[in-house]
Structure 1
Amino acid sequence: MAETEDHYFSADPAAPFERVPVRASVWGLDLSLTSGSGVFARGRLDVGTAVLFRETEPPNGGRILDLGCGYGVIGLACALAAPGSTVTGVDVNRRALLLANENAAALGLGGHYAAVEPDQVDPDAVFDEIWSNPPIRIGKEALHALLLTWLPRLVPGGRAVMVVGKNLGADSLQRWLVEQGYPTERLASAKGFRILEVRRPAAD
């Protein structure tokens, strides 16, 4: 992990704030975004997220959660590819939230995308889909707690689509999700990453 990413899951990274441009082609869309120091994948589209885009089709619309949004690339791509969607990005990194909201405004998505801290999400809000490159490096216990916080907020029959490195425990995570009552399938495997589709049962 690069020095400036050591604490990308901190609320206030210590690295001096420097904005860095990023260009990404996802789902046939060319995005011009701004990333920054102290934020995950500064100045680039990380390999896992690139695999996620390449191995999936965009969502159809609805209410989407961009979990661990970083500078916003996944949720913003969802909002652009599914114009009828409403996307909420969540992250603990305030610098990431600032960048994600700036990127949304620059793309004209201010009415369709908003990035907020987790406790700022309406406690009654539910989601049709969750898209995420989850912060595996926060540790297994914290990751499990994170997923058990947000997966129950899927509507019955809703799904989460996640990219997880095989060497970071993707297969054991899949088994654990099934044990928690969330049927989970591997949609694809590429470049050392798994794309997992997690379903909330239609009737809990």
Structure 2
Amino acid sequence: MSGSHYFTSDPDAVSERREITVTLPDISLELTTDAGVFSRGKLDPGTRVLLEHAPPPRVRGPILDLGCGYGPIALTWASRRKRSAVWGVDVNSRALDLLTLNAQNLKLGNVQAALPDDVPQDLVFGSIYSNPPIRVGKAVMHEMMHRWLGRLAPEGSAFLVVQRNLGADSFMKWLNDQGYPTTRFTSVNGFRILEAHPRPDGAGSDTGRGTS
């Protein structure tokens, strides 16, 4: 059943679309989900922590939802910041189709769904919000961070939610060791929200390879 994992490019799970409601303190979204995408039945607890406790963007600029799935992060920020371009990036083609459908249904014209290699090479993001796929393994995760933290504006921030029991603290240490200034923004219900910044010298930029 490996082909049905949400982090594969073309899930083989039989399509079974359903509607869910994402209710946050400031917004409620009716979203379509499907088999073969992350947390299709309800909003993932880590994603909820991120959406309810991460701060607004520190600087202006496009917003990136890295590993967007069916789009709860991208669509929430597109609703909160209707004048900002919001990109949802994922390797899962079914997830990208759902993000596009949900954006259309919500009449959010500021959302763009894209595969990692389809993001313009010169696009710089003001903010990244992500519930990263820790379970894909350290090698893939590290490659993702090198690639996408290098796409942040110099004063930009990436807000990453990671479960404490899945190595949030060691992940933060790795980011700092790699030269990405990273702090724990807050801890809620066993999840850490980490705030990471690009390397001061820009050495982390690697836009030519990696995955979402």
State the distance in 1 between where 2:25 and 2:77 align: 9
Counterpart in the other structure of 1:108? 107
The amino acid across from 2:92 in the alignment is N
Asked whether the equivalents of residues 22 and 43 of structure 2 are also in contact (C-alpha less than 8 Å), the reply is yes
State the SS of the aligned residue for 2:63.
strand
Counterpart in the other structure of 2:9? 11
State the distance in 1 between where 2:26 and 2:64 align: 21
Identity fraction in percent: 50
State the distance in 2 between where 1:196 and 1:26 align: 21
CA positional deviation for 1:83: 1.7
Please tell me whether residue 62 in structure 1 is matched to residue 61 in structure 2.
Answer: yes
State the SS of the aligned residue for 2:150.
helix
* CA distance 1:5–1:137, shift in 2 (3 Å): farther
CA positional deviation for 1:124: 1.1
- Partner of residue 125 from structure 1, selected from 123, 126, 138: 123
Asked whether the equivalents of residues 184 and 194 of structure 2 are also in contact (C-alpha less than 8 Å), the reply is yes
State the distance in 1 between where 2:71 and 2:16 align: 17
State the distance in 2 between where 1:175 and 1:70 align: 27
State the SS of the aligned residue for 2:183.
strand
Counterpart in the other structure of 1:85? 84
* TM-score of the aligned structures, taking structure 1 as reference length: 0.93
State the distance in 2 between where 1:187 and 1:126 align: 23
* CA distance 1:102–1:12, shift in 2 (3 Å): same
* Structure 1 unpaired stretches of 5+: none
State the distance in 2 between where 1:141 and 1:171 align: 17
CA positional deviation for 1:62: 2.5
Runs of 4+ in structure 1 deviating by more than 6 angstroms, as ranges, are none
State the distance in 2 between where 1:6 and 1:51 align: 26
CA positional deviation for 1:27: 4.7
* Structure 2 unpaired stretches of 5+: 203-212
State the distance in 2 between where 1:70 and 1:92 align: 9
Asked whether the equivalents of residues 66 and 74 of structure 1 are also in contact (C-alpha less than 8 Å), the reply is yes
Mean alpha-carbon deviation: is it higher for 57-66 or for 112-121?
Answer: 57-66
Counterpart in the other structure of 2:208? none
State the distance in 1 between where 2:182 and 2:176 align: 6
- Partner of residue 21 from structure 1, selected from 3, 12, 19: 19
Asked whether the equivalents of residues 48 and 193 of structure 1 are also in contact (C-alpha less than 8 Å), the reply is yes
State the distance in 2 between where 1:57 and 1:4 align: 36
> What is the total number of aligned residue pairs between the two structures?
201
State the SS of the aligned residue for 2:7.
coil
Asked whether the equivalents of residues 4 and 39 of structure 1 are also in contact (C-alpha less than 8 Å), the reply is no
The amino acid across from 1:109 in the alignment is L
State the distance in 2 between where 1:91 and 1:165 align: 20
State the SS of the aligned residue for 1:78.
helix
State the distance in 1 between where 2:2 and 2:163 align: 21
Counterpart in the other structure of 2:205? none
Matches within 5 A, 1:1-204: 7-59=5-57, 62-110=61-109, 112-201=110-199, 204=202
Mean alpha-carbon deviation: is it higher for 186-195 or for 58-67?
Answer: 58-67
* TM-score of the aligned structures, taking structure 2 as reference length: 0.90
Mean alpha-carbon deviation: is it higher for 99-108 or for 54-63?
Answer: 54-63
State the distance in 1 between where 2:5 and 2:166 align: 18
CA positional deviation for 1:108: 0.7
**Superposed CA RMSD:** 1.8
